[in-house]
Structure 1
Amino acid sequence: MKRAYTKPISETSEADYFPLAKMAWDEDCPDQDITSVSLFSPDQKAIAYLNAREEGILCGSGVTEVLSKLSDGDLQFNFFFKDGEKFAKGDMIAEIHGSLLSMLRVERILLNFLQYLSGISTSTRKIVDQYGSKGIMILDTRKTLPGYRKLAKYAVYCGGGSNHRLDLSEMAMIKDNHLALFGSAKIPVGKIRSNFPGRIVELEIDSLDQLEDALEAEPDVLMLDNFNIPDTRAAFQRIKEKNPKILIECSGRITPEKLEALSEFPGVGVSMGYLTHTTRFLDLGLDIRT
């Protein structure tokens, strides 16, 4: 199964985490941790265990490279699982050795990143395990928190999902607000191909009335937005007859419950803002011992 329309977000770097981690670092402790510095000495050492309180898929371990530097190298992180790997409830995911004050300083920042991104990976994996085998490509969207776009899409990938475009520059998508300004879809498709040859062009339609004109425009991807199942079935059959090279994508408030009905259309992509904007933090805990 293809894992991306363009380039998959299959890995991240320290630079992808740094702006957000540094912002969280400054936000969480603008001066001093007045609780911890009152209770413990700067030279006190500790060990912490990152434990899973429910099963899930790990994502976000790369943030520790930034946190280690921000804490002046006072912490050493040792993970027993890699991003994308499944752990069980009760598993020890990682150990942290070093300064007790630094450990307490990074605790909430570390958990926020890991719980959020692992939550996305875990919910994605559940959906992919159930419906990916039926030939549906589970796609993410650009419905992400500002600054978290690449990390959220990486989390979808770690969960076995597929990546839609990362940004507006990567591929073209002609949506209803674009199409309303032209008499035919062939005009905007042609303009984009002329200005950016070689880029993928996706065209969104929201009714069967637009289908024939859309097929004449020959986009690379045809999105069926908010189609009911009978209309999806009719569009699917017509696209396969007219131009089977066009990729078909379904979208529009799609939740896991709606995927069962779409599983009758093998090979379609299903874009789900649900993957990233309906995320529950995964239950992870950090237990510190001196």
Structure 2
Amino acid sequence: MPNGAAAGFPLHDGALLALARAALEEDRAFEDVTTLATVTPGHHARADLVARRDGVVAGVPLAVTAFKQLDPHVEIRIDVRDGTPVKKGDVVLHLSGTARGLLSAERVALNFAQRLSGVASLTAQYVKAVAGTSAKILDTRKTTPGWRMLEKYAVTCGGGTNHRATLADAVLIKDNHLAACGGDVGVAVQRAREYAPTGMLVQVECDTVAQVRAALAAGAEALLLDNMPNHALRECVELARGKAWTEASGGVSLDTVRGIAETGVDRISIGALTHSAPSLDLALDFE
């Protein structure tokens, strides 16, 4: 895998370069007035990109590419690849190059790695919390605009599973869809079957056990059980057994996810993996 990526890295070389370049230009890194004023062109430096907290790393290829844009001759040793757990103090990258290049690329490289490592680290916490159950941890479409494929990749680095990536990947009939077609689950599922390509999954969001019964009667293949208490989740899991797989969602936290998993649901989707993950504390330390 290129530049420290894990399997499934979503960007080809051209897209990777374009994204890193755009971020550097946004920061006007090639016009870094402080560095240009204070650091001589030929000054050489070495630095380590270090984890300041325990977590899981993601975004290494973007960090590497950012540094290479400011100094094409920089030497980079990758000690930790994407998807790898780190402890506080672990070195992720060792860099040797021009001081100007390292300084001017530092913030952009860290922004990429901190954000994506934060998503991977939070995902890993949820995956660990449900270990030993049959539930998989899923992401959602609640992603940063333009960063969806990267954030979903970071989820997989943390051991999670990707949900549908786009609106065209699967049918998910939610409450507003039902409201817009008269509230009849059967009609909505029938229309979905007639329109969607053969074999495409049809899932229905349900808030109550009664809605689950209606969705199953209509032939839904998957149920999104939204904000249900655990006793209701257990009942729905039994109703759906052998007919449809079940996904719990809504208000899931690290405190509640284990109890939800123990109801027997197949999947637990968590928007917070991508919309609320705190960045992992990484830093560039000069020798």
TM-score, with structure 2 as normaliser: 0.90
Check whether the contact 2:51–2:92 (CA below 8 A) recurs between aligned residues.
yes
The question of 1:169 aligning with 2:168 is answered: yes
Could you tell me which amino acid in structure 2 is paired with residue 216 of structure 1?
A: A
Check whether the contact 1:20–1:147 (CA below 8 A) recurs between aligned residues.
no
Q: CA deviation at 1:42?
A: 1.8
Could you tell me which amino acid in structure 1 is paired with residue 167 of structure 2?
A: L
Question: Which residue in 2 is equivalent to 1:186?
Answer: 186
Indicate the SS of the match to 2:132. Answer: helix
Instruction: Give deviations 1:125-180, integer Å, cap 9, x for gaps.
Output: 12211213222111101111111111111111010111101111111211111112
Instruction: Give deviations 1:72-102, integer Å, cap 9, x for gaps.
Output: 6142322111111112111111111212111
Q: Which runs of 5+ in 2 are unaligned?
A: 1-6
Q: CA deviation at 1:16?
A: 5.1
Q: CA deviation at 1:249?
A: 0.4
Q: Partners of 1:19 and 1:171 in 2: how far apart?
A: 30
Question: Which residue in 2 is equivalent to 1:125?
Answer: 124
Report matched runs for 1:108-257 at 5 Å. Answer: 108-180=107-179, 181-195=181-195, 196-240=197-241, 244-257=242-255
After TM superposition, the runs of 4+ consecutive aligned structure 1 residues lying more than 6 A away are: none
Q: Partners of 2:183 and 2:261 in 1: how far apart?
A: 34
Check whether the contact 1:74–1:102 (CA below 8 A) recurs between aligned residues.
no
Question: Which residue in 1 is equivalent to 2:270?
Answer: 272
Q: Partners of 1:21 and 1:218 in 2: how far apart?
A: 46
Q: CA deviation at 1:266?
A: 2.8
Query: What is the root-mean-square deviation of aligned Cα atoms in Å?
Result: 1.9
Distance 1:252 1:27, change over 3 A: same
Indicate the SS of the match to 1:120. Answer: helix
Check whether the contact 1:139–1:163 (CA below 8 A) recurs between aligned residues.
yes
Distance 1:75 1:192, change over 3 A: farther
Distance 1:111 1:259, change over 3 A: same
Q: CA deviation at 1:209?
A: 2.4
Q: Partners of 2:90 and 2:158 in 1: how far apart?
A: 18
Q: Partners of 2:213 and 2:111 in 1: how far apart?
A: 48
Q: Partners of 2:137 and 2:71 in 1: how far apart?
A: 40
Q: Which range moves more in the overlay, 21-30 or 161-170?
A: 21-30
Check whether the contact 1:140–1:272 (CA below 8 A) recurs between aligned residues.
yes
Q: Partners of 1:228 and 1:267 in 2: how far apart?
A: 12
Instruction: Give deviations 1:215-266, integer Å, cap 9, x for gaps.
Output: 01222211111111222122122122xxx14110011121111112213223
Q: CA deviation at 1:15?
A: 4.7
Q: Partners of 1:148 and 1:119 in 2: how far apart?
A: 14
Question: Which residue in 2 is equivalent to 1:5?
Answer: none
Check whether the contact 1:253–1:273 (CA below 8 A) recurs between aligned residues.
no
Q: Partners of 1:257 and 1:224 in 2: how far apart?
A: 19
Check whether the contact 1:140–1:153 (CA below 8 A) recurs between aligned residues.
yes
Distance 1:260 1:64, change over 3 A: closer
Check whether the contact 1:173–1:201 (CA below 8 A) recurs between aligned residues.
yes
Q: CA deviation at 1:193?
A: 2.4
Indicate the SS of the match to 1:24. Answer: helix
Instruction: Give deviations 1:106-125, integer Å, cap 9, x for gaps.
Output: 10011111111111111111
Q: Which range moves more in the overlay, 143-152 or 260-269?
A: 260-269
Q: Which range moves more in the overlay, 17-26 or 217-226?
A: 17-26
Distance 1:19 1:202, change over 3 A: farther
Question: Which residue in 1 is equivalent to 2:3?
Answer: none
Q: CA deviation at 1:30?
A: 6.6
Report matched runs for 1:96-111 at 5 Å. Answer: 96-111=95-110
Check whether the contact 1:51–1:92 (CA below 8 A) recurs between aligned residues.
yes
Check whether the contact 2:129–2:257 (CA below 8 A) recurs between aligned residues.
no
Check whether the contact 2:58–2:113 (CA below 8 A) recurs between aligned residues.
yes
Instruction: Give deviations 1:187-218, integer Å, cap 9, x for gaps.
Output: 22222222222212211111222122100122
Q: CA deviation at 1:267?
A: 4.7
Check whether the contact 2:30–2:70 (CA below 8 A) recurs between aligned residues.
no
Indicate the SS of the match to 2:164. Answer: coil
Indicate the SS of the match to 2:279. Answer: coil
